[in-house]
């Protein structure tokens, strides 16, 4: 006899792994069609996932890529939740935008005069 693979609902796993604060929130992301399991778009929160499945989903401004390591039995503390997956996400380092073209804070009075003169049309 072959052993049946242990599986769990997708929304429940995302909640247990602490990617979403509530199971309802996890289910709404899945229903919106924003989650892929093994490169297949999933729209049902009851989709069964198991060990070895790759899950791609949006979280905040990032797109997370994780591989299921275990199904889990409960929503425990964070260290226990981190054991449920292997994170394959490539995090991009955010570079702060420079507000001024000079990059050194507030412009001086001389800088403002130069900027004003460059924007005015020439006198004829």
- State whether residue 74 is helix, strand or coil: coil
86-97 pLDDT tens trace = 999 888 777 666
13-63 pLDDT tens trace = 999 999 999 999 999 999 999 999 999 999 999 999 999 999 999 988 889
Tell me, rounded to whole angstroms, the distance of Cα 10 from its chain centroid: 16
Listed as own residue / partner, the contacts of 99-106 with beta carbons closer than 8 Å and 24 or more positions apart are none
Integer Cα distance of 119 and 64 in angstroms: 45
Share of the chain above pLDDT 90, in %: 60
How many Cβ atoms are within 10 Å of 6's Cβ, its own excluded? Answer: 11
Contact 56, 35 (CB under 8 A): yes
- State whether residue 18 is helix, strand or coil: coil
Residue 83 has what pLDDT? 93
Residue 46 has what pLDDT? 94
């Amino acid at each position: 006899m072959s052993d049946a693979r242990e599986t769990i609902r997708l929304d429940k796993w995302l909640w247990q792994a602490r990617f979403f604060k509530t199971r309802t929130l996890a289910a709404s992301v899945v229903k919106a069609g924003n989650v892929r399991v093994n490169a297949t778009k999933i729209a049902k929160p009851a989709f069964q996932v198991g060990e070895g499945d790759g899950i791609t989903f949006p979280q905040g401004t990032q797109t997370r890529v994780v591989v299921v390591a275990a199904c889990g039995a409960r929503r425990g503390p964070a260290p226990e939740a981190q054991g449920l997956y292997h994170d394959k996400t490539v995090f991009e380092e955010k570079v702060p935008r420079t507000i001024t073209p000079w990059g050194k804070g507030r412009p001086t009075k001389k800088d403002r005069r130069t900027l004003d003169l460059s924007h005015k049309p020439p006198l004829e």
